[in-house]
Structure 1
């Protein structure tokens, strides 16, 4: 009986095996791990960053952000991925010694420090302004957290595509109705708002027609909500507190 040379047969077998070998799925973010890390280290928005220092589970999340494939993600999944990615990388910057507490520090933290996101090395600034904001969801401004006291609180759970709408609404209403960030005086018809509303006013106007119209349905106080709907408030903006939102 005719037999192929042993060397040729082995090569052919290896080639066939490679052709039928399943390729590994594109890496995604391990939301269960991120959820567990948040639940343990974040209490009412106060972050114990020490728990994530030299933590293999946290480091693995950073690696997953770098290798994730967003090309086939739908809008909700992409939004959830980018929000989680921003919050993880913002914490990574703090752990690496950066800080937005000074003007120079903010430049380094947002515009110089680079991270691998879905195969591309980008900054937090690019992640927010070129990847997240174009998805046209203004509530992201209450969900992405730049490790500062005047930022929205870091929630104690990961954002998921399945529950994203509810999670964003909770984050938005929690921030808007927190007097630490926003104060409404119906008697004087003066509102003192977070600087977030000045910096990203165009996003809120695009969604609500005006800033006050956007805020109106999210305010708990009915009298305030009615006045906002009438564009009745004079608005000023609060100074932003860039001090750390937890323990380094």
Structure 2
């Protein structure tokens, strides 16, 4: 009986998963372009420097060996970010703020629940992951990870490269970058992330006359356009890639990106 219930719950979870739409939350579409102040992401950079490890096409996080002191550093970073009202800053500063906050919260969620096999195991009984749980309060508003990605980042910036920037702590996800995002390095880092992912097997796997793309290109097809537009995007970062006429399959590995 327990096995049957577990199987039904697993089936429900996978079938219930659907990528949220990009829907602007107007409250956050405000900026002060005259503000030349920068937001420090030093504590987040310290965390990345110590615990992010490259193995082949993956960057893995060493969740198991983070020290109490370094976890306090991460917590300090999150406290600093909660005290900031990003609307007081330039849009370029805001973008880095939201991406780094999203990624830091995701790491914190895994640390708080470690050891686990997959982030999809978190959340409520009928939830597929923690993305709809309120995880932070910014400028008086309680936010979920889905709010940050789909109601702020995607609709305000309309940049498909955002999908290479936010990390869901899974092997199938574009890599967590070793550098914290800043207003200055944003475009360079986004292109680096896109290049790495599109030239990896988890991004595009070509075998014989078949091609397997990351499910990201299926879930968020609206951000990449039709198939011709998608391949134009992909060829920008993988020039030898040719337009494909056959069937395309999609895959995604939800296993934890652990060291």
Partner of 2:62: 48
- The CA deviation at 1:108 is 4.9
Answer yes or no: is 1:116 the counterpart of 2:116: no
Residue 201 of structure 2 aligns to a residue whose secondary structure is coil
1:33 equivalent in alignment to 2:51: no
Q: Which residue of 1 aligns with 2:257?
A: 245
TM-score (norm 1): 0.76
Q: Confirm whether residue 205 of structure 1 aligns to residue 225 of structure 2.
A: yes
- Asked which structure has the greater CA Rg, the reply is 1
* Greater percentage in helix: 1
Equivalent of 1:235 in 237, 248, 259: 248
Q: Partners in 2 of 1:202 and 1:121 — Cα distance?
A: 27
What's the Cα RMSD here?
2.6
Q: Provide the residue aligned with 2:87 in structure 1.
A: 71
Distance 1:38 1:200, change over 3 A: same
Question: Contact (CA 8 Å) 1:205, 1:214: kept in 2 or not?
Answer: no
Q: Which moved more, 1:115-124 or 1:140-149?
A: 115-124
Report SS of the residue matched to 1:246: coil
Match of 2:12 in 1: none
Q: Does the 8 A contact of 1:111 with 1:123 survive in 2?
A: yes
| Per-residue deviation, residues 189-214 of structure 1 (Å, max 9, x unmatched) | x32001011111111118x9721222
1:200-230: CA deviation from partner (whole Å, max 9, x where unpaired): 1111118x9721222121115x2x2xx22xx
Q: Where do 5+ consecutive residues of structure 2 fail to align?
A: 1-34
Separation (CA, whole Å) in 2 of partners of 1:108 and 1:64 = 26
Structure 1 residues 29 and 82, CA gap change in structure 2 (3 angstroms):
same
TM-score, normalised relative to structure 2: 0.73
8 Å Cα contact 2:170-2:254 kept in structure 1: yes
Q: Secondary structure at the match of 2:66?
A: helix
1:158 to 180, 188, 192: 180
Q: Is the 8 A contact 2:131 2:144 kept in 1?
A: yes
CA positional deviation for 1:141 = 0.5
Aligned mates of 2:122, 2:195 — CA distance in 1: 29
Cα 1:159–1:119 shift into 2, 3 Å: same
- Count of matched residue pairs: 212
Q: Which residue is equivalent to 1:91?
A: 107
**Match of 1:17?**
none
